[in-house]
Amino acid sequence: MNTTYEYIPKEKFEFKQLDANLHDKKLETKSRGYFADAMIRFKKNKSSVVAAWIILFLVVFSILSPIISINDIKTYDDTYTNHPPFIKAIADMEIGIFDGAIPRKSQSETQKLIWEAIGKETGLNPVIRVVGTTVQQEKYRGQMRDVTYYELENNKYYERGIVYRVLSYEEFAKIQQFQNETGIQVIYPYVESKDINGIKDNPNIWYAVSDAKGTPKLDKNGDFIPVYSTNEAMAGAEYNSLRIEGDPGNYIYSYAKSGAVHVRICYYNYYQYVNGHEPTFLFGTNVLGQCIFTAIGVGARFSLIFAVIVSAINLTIGAIYGAIQGYYGGAVDMVMDRIADILNGIPFIVVTTLFQLHLAQKVGILPSFLFAFVLTGWLGMAALTRKQFYRFKGQEFVLAARTLGASDWRLMFKHIFPNSLGTIITSCALVIPGVINSETSMTYLGIINLQETFGTSIGVLMSQGQTAMTSAPHAMIFPSIFISLLLISFNLFGNGLRDAFNPSMRGVDD
Amino acid sequence: MLKYTIQRILFMLLTLFVIIGMCFMLIRMLPPAQLDPTDIHKDIIEARREAMGYNKPLLVQFGIFLRDVLLHWDWGVSDKLYVGREVFSIFAEKMPATIIVNIYSIILSIPIGILLGIFAALKKNTWIDHTISTLTMVVISVPSFVYAFVIQYVFSYKLGWLPFLMNPGTDYFTWDMFVSMLPAVMSLSFGVIAGFTRTTRAELTEVLTSEFMLLARTKGLTKAQATIRHALKNCMVVILPSIFGQFIGVMSGSLIIEKIFSIPGVGQLYINSINAPDYPMFIMNTAFYTTIGLAASIVVDISYGLIDPRIRMGSKK
Report d(CA B257, CA B186) in Å as an integer: 10
Does A500 map to a domain?
yes
Q: pTM here?
A: 0.84
| A215 and A302 assigned to the same domain | no
Cβ proximity of A42 and A500 under 8 Å: yes
| A386 and A488 assigned to the same domain | yes
Cβ proximity of B181 and B166 under 8 Å: yes
Does A399 map to a domain?
yes
State the amino acid at position B118 in one-letter form: I
Domain edges within chain B: 2-72, 93-307
In the listed set A159, A187, A208, which residue is the last one of a domain according to the structure? A159
Q: How many CA atoms lie within 13 A of A187 on its CB side?
A: 31
Total count of residues recorded for chain A: 510
- The residues pairing with A150 across neighbouring beta strands, listed in sequence order, are A107, A133
Could you write out the three-class secondary structure of chain B?
A: CHHHHHHHHHHHHHHHHHHHHHHHHHHHCCCCCCCCCCCCCHHHHHHHHHHCCCCCCHHHHHHHHHHHHHHHCCCCECCCCCCCCEHHHHHHHHHHHHHHHHHHHHHHHHHHHHHHHHHHHHCCCCHHHHHHHHHHHHHHHCCHHHHHHHHHHHHHHHCCCCCCCCCCCCCCCCHHHHHHHHHHHHHHHHHHHHHHHHHHHHHHHHHHCCHHHHHHHHCCCCHHHHHHHHHHHHHHHHHHHHHHHHHHHCCCCCHHHHHHCCCCCHHHHHHHHHHCCCHHHHHHHHHHHHHHHHHHHHHHHHHHHHHCHHHHHHHHC
* Domain assignment of residue A190, given as a range: 162-275
* C-beta atoms of B137 and A346 within 8 A: no
| A451 and A468 assigned to the same domain | yes
CA nearest B158 in A: which residue?
A470
Domain total in chain A: 3
Nearest by CB to A509, which of B141, B202, B289?
B202
Residue A358 belongs to domain with CATH number: 1.10.3720.10
Nearest by CB to A347, which of B199, B256, B293?
B293
| A369 and A483 assigned to the same domain | yes
- Name the residue with higher pLDDT: B39 or A407: A407
Å from A215 to nearest chain B CA?
32
Does A471 map to a domain?
yes
Q: What digits encode the pLDDT tens for the residues B233-292?
A: 888 888 888 888 888 777 766 888 888 888 888 888 888 888 888 888 888 889 988 888
Which residue in A188, A175, A396 sits closest to A273, CA to CA?
A175
CA nearest A508 in B: which residue?
B202
Sequential pLDDT tens for chain B (317 residues): 788 888 888 988 998 999 999 888 888 888 877 777 777 777 777 887 887 777 888 888 888 888 888 888 888 888 777 877 888 888 888 888 888 888 888 898 999 999 999 989 888 888 888 889 888 988 888 888 888 888 888 888 888 888 888 777 777 778 888 888 888 888 888 888 998 998 898 888 888 888 888 888 898 888 888 888 888 888 888 888 888 888 877 776 688 888 888 888 888 888 888 888 888 888 888 998 888 888 888 888 888 878 877 766 544 43
Give the residue from B149, B155, B281 with the most A CB atoms within 10 Å of its CB, the best one to mutate. Answer: B149
| A443 and A294 assigned to the same domain | yes
From residue A455, give the alpha-carbon distance in Å to each of A72, A111, A277, A299.
Answer: 10, 38, 22, 8
In chain A, which residues have their Cβ closer than 8 Å to the Cβ of B275? 446-447
Nearest by CB to B294, which of A345, A353, A491?
A345
**Rounded mean pLDDT of chain A?**
83
Asked if B153 has any chain A CB less than 8 Å from its own CB, the reply is yes
Report d(CA B28, CA B46) in Å as an integer: 15
Report d(CA A78, CA A289) in Å as an integer: 5
Report d(CA B137, CA B194) in Å as an integer: 8
Which residue in A333, A336, A341, A338 sits closest to A393, CA to CA?
A333
Does A7 map to a domain?
no
Report d(CA B143, CA B147) in Å as an integer: 7
* pLDDT for residue A484: 92
Asked if B259 has any chain A CB less than 8 Å from its own CB, the reply is yes
Asked if B138 has any chain A CB less than 8 Å from its own CB, the reply is yes
Does A45 map to a domain?
no
In the listed set A124, A159, A194, which residue is the last one of a domain according to the structure? A159
Q: Which ipTM score applies to this complex?
A: 0.86
Taking each helix axis from N to C terminus, what angle separates A330-345 and A292-328, rounded to the nearest 10 degrees? 150
Å from A470 to nearest chain B CA?
7
Percent of chain A with pLDDT over 90: 7
Helix H segments across A123-249? Answer: 156-159, 169-182
* C-beta atoms of B146 and A480 within 8 A: yes
Sorted by sequence, the CB contacts under 8 Å of residue A448 that are 6+ apart come out as: A352, A356, A365, A369, A439, A442
Report d(CA B30, CA B9) in Å as an integer: 32
Domain B93-307 superfamily per CATH? MetI-like (1.10.3720.10)
Does A34 map to a domain?
no
Å from B88 to nearest chain A CA?
19
Q: What digits encode the pLDDT tens for the residues A3-12?
A: 667 777 888 8
Query: Rounded to 10 degrees, what is the CA torsion of B133, B136, B137, B141?
Result: 180
| A403 and A351 assigned to the same domain | yes
Helix H segments across A196-291? Answer: 267-275
Does A172 map to a domain?
yes
| A143 and A187 assigned to the same domain | no
| A310 and A205 assigned to the same domain | no
From residue A235, give the alpha-carbon distance in Å to each of A122, A144, A194, A263, B99.
Answer: 21, 46, 16, 10, 69
